[in-house]
Amino acid sequence: MARFRRRTCIILLLFILFICSIMMALKTLRPDRAGFGDPFGLGLLPELQQRTELLENKRSSLNRIQGDTVTQISNMHAAVVNTMKASMPPANKLEGELSSPNYNFHIFYYSWFGNPQFDGKYIHWNHPLLPHWDPKIANNYPKGRHNPPEDIAANFYPELGSYSSKDTSVIEAHMKQMLSASIGVIALSWYPPGMADENGEPTDDLVPIILDYASKYNLKVTFHIEPYKDRDDRSMYHNVKYIIDKYGAHPAFYRHKTSTGRSLPMFYVYDSYVTIPEIWANLLTVSGSQTIRNTPYDALFIALLVEERHKHDIHRSGFDGMYTYFATNGFSYGSSHHNWANLKAFCDSNNLMFIPSVGPGYIDTSIRPWNNHNTRNRVNGKYYETAFNAALLVRPEIISITSFNEWHEGTQIEKAIPKKTGQIVYLDYKPHKPNIYLELTQKWSEKYRKEKERWLM
């Protein structure tokens, strides 16, 4: 009997050592030590759970054995189980519920979606297929519009379905998702009152509602001013005046504290390169004829950089910084990660902000069926993590994310679900959960915070 007890003890001790070795191995696999990798080791969690259950069963079967030795072993086992549980993030942390907003993480957000329940018709989900500019190529691809709700203008399918941006339950769900991802600032796509993109309808009336819900979750809202017909220095002056007069006093209105101690509104200006530098200089330089500088409407203006030559135009125009927007590494000079160090150096030497834009991937063949060559596979989150790693290497003051919900271009981090209908099979985030890109964003937000503390030391 004593021999049996000794053998049992030895086996159990070996088993515990085996579990400890597993724990040490898992610790070395944590992605915090790598530039990018399997997010959170999510694939390992079910296996760990099975082993924990096996250990519990083993323990209950040995409880019949009495004696001090068995008691000591049980205590050791409890310590091992507790260590395993401590090394795994709490369930609510996985959902990001304990996240706090990082106001240096800005995310591009679109409020242009509509459906019959809230808008009387589908808007944007029924986006037309855009023809190639070469008729010979265009003839090889389908034409027409998408037919929601089963056939939407996206390669992924939202967990919330073909929603309306007017639905307050959707707005609130979006705010919760952003907060769970530790995002602090919403860069809201904006057109002047009465204006919209060619496939949408005016959305300025939604701004107060978005601000209210953002405030509820301690998020801030800045404005991503879209291109519109005849946009120039004069119209932009009126746009900025309108936004600041109407929304500037709202607690969710974003202001950025500069190195001089001033807190200024910020405006991203999409397709800024379409307007010549001389026109922008009228608005953005102190001596400009339409200057906004040193007035109650002064702000930080961030231009879109696509080509390398744009950096000189941006400087001459009087902009305060540049962003890269596109989530396609290699598509443009600005969106190519290997150029970010040079752009950051240029900005540093010219007192400009450099705001790299990271994205989880890119696919727009639902609206541009001929554009396969610009698709960027998500690689189960690794593409996104690679972009974040490249951004952190240049030590930016702000990182922008393309996007929360630009579904047409497949850059969204909003929750998506697997879906198959008729001949259409939508892409999804498997083998991970619908919130995987929110989790990854939260992870890199925390990593950015820690890195920034070291930069400032």
Instruction: State the chain's maximal CA–CA distance in angstroms.
Output: 99
pLDDT (0 to 100) of residue 226: 98
CA separation for the pair 414, 178 (Å, rounded): 9
Residue 16 burial by CB count (10 A; 0-12/13-18/19+): exposed, middle or buried? middle
Cβ atoms of 112 and 197 within 8 Å: the answer is yes
CA separation for the pair 227, 432 (Å, rounded): 37
pLDDT (0 to 100) of residue 37: 31
Task: Output DSSP code: residue 250.
Answer: S
Mean pLDDT of the region 31-45: 31
Cβ atoms of 424 and 156 within 8 Å: the answer is no
End-to-end CA distance of the chain, in Å? 64
Mean pLDDT of the region 332-342: 98
Q: At 32, is the pLDDT very low, low, confident or very high (cuts 50, 70, 90)?
A: very low
How confident is the model over 416-446, as pLDDT tens digits? 999 999 889 999 999 999 999 999 999 999 9
CA separation for the pair 198, 123 (Å, rounded): 11
Torsions phi, psi for 196 (to 5 deg): -160, 170
Q: Is the pLDDT of residue 4 over 60?
A: no
pLDDT (0 to 100) of residue 36: 30
Task: Output DSSP code: residue 228.
Answer: -
Helix intervals (H) in 139-256: 168-180, 207-216, 233-247
pLDDT (0 to 100) of residue 455: 87
pLDDT (0 to 100) of residue 14: 64
CATH classification number, 102-455, choose in 3.40.50.300, 3.20.20.80, 3.40.190.10, 3.90.180.10: 3.20.20.80
CA separation for the pair 300, 267 (Å, rounded): 6
Cβ atoms of 145 and 128 within 8 Å: the answer is yes
- Residue, of 46 and 154, whose pLDDT is higher: 154
Task: Output DSSP code: residue 323.
Answer: E
Cβ atoms of 255 and 291 within 8 Å: the answer is no
Torsions phi, psi for 406 (to 5 deg): -85, 80
Q: At 93, is the pLDDT very low, low, confident or very high (cuts 50, 70, 90)?
A: very low
Q: Is the pLDDT of residue 106 over 80?
A: yes
Mean pLDDT of the region 167-179: 98
Residue 170 is encoded by which pair of tokens? 């959707």
Residue 378 is encoded by which pair of tokens? 């998500």
Percentage of the chain lying above the pLDDT 90 cut? 76
Mean pLDDT of the region 378-400: 98
Q: At 18, is the pLDDT very low, low, confident or very high (cuts 50, 70, 90)?
A: low
pLDDT (0 to 100) of residue 52: 34
One DSSP character per residue, 359-420 reads: -S-B--TTT-TT-GGG-B--GGGHHHHHHHHHHHHT--S-EEES-SS-GGGT---S-EE--E
How confident is the model over 231-269, as pLDDT tens digits? 999 999 999 999 999 999 999 999 999 988 899 999 999
Mean pLDDT of the region 147-174: 98
CA separation for the pair 140, 434 (Å, rounded): 34
Q: What is the mean pLDDT of the chain?
A: 85
Q: Is the pLDDT of residue 223 over 90?
A: yes
Mean pLDDT of the region 98-123: 95
